[in-house]
Amino acid sequence: MNQAPKSLSKKHALEWQDYLKDSQGLGGILAKTEDMVKLKSALAQCLDELDLANLSSKIEAGWRSGGQKELFLLVGSASIASRLQQILPSLINGLAKRGYPCSSIKVRLKPATTGWEVKPREAQPTPARGFNSVARASWQNLMEKLPQDSELRQAVERLLGGK
């Protein structure tokens, strides 16, 4: 029979599995995502112990790039940031108990999103090119007063010819 050997499809599947497990592939991204979920869970538990469980959904946590000793918390308002500043030592201790030792925690405000929508500009009529009738008449009057061999007259003629 003319069927493709099954070993080829298994070979492709193994290559994808290897790619997923590879630290340079999606495996590294998946591992970091799992770590961030665990960190978020530990942070939520710490906040719950401090009777601030309602803030856990309003906080985005992340480690400073280059190491896991400095934690950044992004919050949406200054009131949440100031409340977190008050409990930072307790958060550091609580996270250390849960296996997330950190030397410091930095609380930062998220950039505010705009509440208005940017709309594209409406098509504006192109400005009229040339002189209006009053301006043209004034330039014509000036040109008639100038001598025929004057360079200024020639410049005004070119000006009126182009407009």
Regarding pTM above 0.95, the answer is: no
Task: Yes or no: say if 121 and 131 are a contact pair by the CB < 8 Å rule.
Answer: no
Please name every residue paired with 73 in a beta bridge, in sequence order, or none if there are none: 61, 107
Q: How confident is the model at residue 82 (pLDDT cuts 50, 70, 90)?
A: very high
pLDDT at residue 100 greater than cutoff 70: yes
* Averaged pLDDT score across all residues of the chain: 81
Q: What 3-state DSSP class applies to 24?
A: coil
How far apart CA 93 and CA 96 sit, in angstroms, is: 5
- Residue whose token pair is 């719950």: 48
Cα dihedral value 42, 46, 52, 54, nearest 10: 10
Task: Yes or no: say if 88 and 50 are a contact pair by the CB < 8 Å rule.
Answer: no
How far apart CA 135 and CA 122 sit, in angstroms, is: 30
* pLDDT digit string, tens, across residues 14-28: 566 666 666 566 667
How far apart CA 134 and CA 145 sit, in angstroms, is: 17
pLDDT at residue 70 greater than cutoff 70: yes
Q: How confident is the model at residue 33 (pLDDT cuts 50, 70, 90)?
A: confident
* pLDDT digit string, tens, across residues 132-148: 888 889 989 988 898 98
- Residue whose token pair is 């998220």: 110
Tokens at 54, concatenated: 């309602």
Task: Yes or no: say if 56 and 90 are a contact pair by the CB < 8 Å rule.
Answer: no
